[in-house]
Amino acid sequence: MSAPTQRITIKDVAAAAGVSKGAVSIAFNNKPGLSEPTRERIFAVARDLGWAPNSSARSLSTQRTDTIGLALCRPARLLGLEPFYMEFISGIESVLAQQSCSLLLRLVSSLDEEIDLQETWWRKRQIGGSILVDFHQDDPRIEPLKRLGIPAVAVGHPDLTGGIPSVWTDDASAVAEAVRYLAALGHRRIARVGGPSGLGHSAIREQAFLTTLRELDLEPSPQVSTGFAGEEGARATRSLLLLRDRPTAIVYDNDLMAVAGLGVAAEMGVAVPDELSLLAWDDSQLCRLTHPTLSAMSHDVHGFGAEVTRELFDVIAGRAVTPRRVATPSLTPRASTAAPRGPRA
């Protein structure tokens, strides 16, 4: 029977240091009003005793909490596959860690569930704010979350986020750049495989795609809206390649679908890039592992996550914020795009 690990509290530290608990509190919050020797003595004692302030007690007292929430609403199998999220999360963490804050993560299966969750988190005061992703057009989260007054930052174009402070990338310009690049290579039939059109950024890209084609006087080409899963990307690619006038280039909405597209092309004996150019989105290492390597619209996802988090801290602190646009995804040409040369060129 080992002695029961007696929980040590601020009182023990105070006693051991020969001061009041108030003094310990002052020391640990770096507030003025203590002499240097006393301060040091307190820290030394705390270190010896292995004490750190109980975070429940602290946040009960301060009415603040140092965790922020992130709810992801995509099927788990998919989440694992999309490099995007983990990298995004790591970006979040990078600034969270500086402030010794933590991330509360939850996977949900519907927006309604997410709304419930955010509300619960907030009501129970478990989070100080939230990061919202994957905005839909007329997103149902906007109204309830604003009503609750949860400090939140949204990832997405300001048009979509209904006044919730947002951080976004200029997808429209990026799509335009992608299409112009392919057109410059000589492609006339360019297709696009996008995410679900309910998703705001898919809609934006879809629109931008059409506009750019029109500007360039290219044929109105097929766009397929699908999920983000690789298999869906594969199916979409297959359907495009079976068209009578099949496209000579395809732009994908993420990297996973592009990898799948590459597989389909191989399976159907369509040479990449000679007969078909493929362009991925959200460049990740995955794009460099295939053969041929995948050209992509790359994007500093880590930095994106960091920026979002910084903005959230501003919101929580009550500082004024304006929508922040971060770097536009930029073209990284690799081996999967080239001038169309036709079969067996």
Positions in the binding site for DNA (CB under 7 A)? 7, 9-11, 18-26, 28-29, 31-35, 37-39, 51, 53-54, 57-58, 60-63
Query: Is 110 among the residues that bind a second copy (CB under 8 A)?
Result: no
Total of chain residues touching a second copy, rule CB under 8 A: 67
Picked from DNA, a second copy, none, the partner binding residue 76 (CB below 5 to 8 A depending on kind) is a second copy
Nearer to a second copy, 51 or 209 (CB): 51
Strand partners, 72: 107
Query: Could you give the CA distance from residue 113 to residue 162 in angstroms, rounded to a whole number?
Result: 20
Query: Could you give the CA distance from residue 255 to residue 283 in angstroms, rounded to a whole number?
Result: 6
Q: Which of residues 53-72 bind a second copy (CB under 8 A)?
A: 53-57, 59-60, 63, 65, 67
* Single-letter amino acid, residue 71: A
In the list 15, 21, 43, 103, the residue contacting a second copy (rule: CB under 8 A) is 103
Picked from a second copy, DNA, none, the partner binding residue 26 (CB below 5 to 8 A depending on kind) is DNA
| Closest among 96, 98, 160, 155 to 128, alpha carbons compared | 96
Query: Could you give the CA distance from residue 336 to residue 52 in angstroms, rounded to a whole number?
Result: 54
Picked from a second copy, DNA, none, the partner binding residue 98 (CB below 5 to 8 A depending on kind) is none
Per-residue b/e over 87-116, b at no fewer than 16 CB within 10 Å? bbbebbbebbeeeebebeeeebeeeeebbe
Nearer to DNA, 7 or 244 (CB): 7
Length of the chain: 345
Q: Enter the DSSP assignment of 136.
A: B
Query: Could you give the CA distance from residue 343 to residue 301 in angstroms, rounded to a whole number?
Result: 36
Q: Which of residues 254-293 bind a second copy (CB under 8 A)?
A: 256, 259-260, 262-267, 284-286, 288-291, 293
Nearer to DNA, 39 or 74 (CB): 39
Nearer to a second copy, 78 or 210 (CB): 78
Picked from a second copy, DNA, none, the partner binding residue 35 (CB below 5 to 8 A depending on kind) is DNA
Sign (positive/negative) of CA torsion 21, 25, 27, 33? negative
Q: How far is the CB of 208 from a second copy (least distance, A)?
A: 26
Q: Are 179 and 190 in contact (CB under 8 A)?
A: yes
SS3 25: helix
> How crowded is the C-beta side of 254, counted as CA atoms within 13 Å?
25
Q: Which residues bind a second copy (CB under 8 A)?
A: 5, 7, 50-57, 59-60, 63, 65, 67, 76-81, 83-87, 89-91, 93, 97, 102-107, 120, 123-126, 149, 229-231, 233-234, 256, 259-260, 262-267, 284-286, 288-291, 293, 301-302
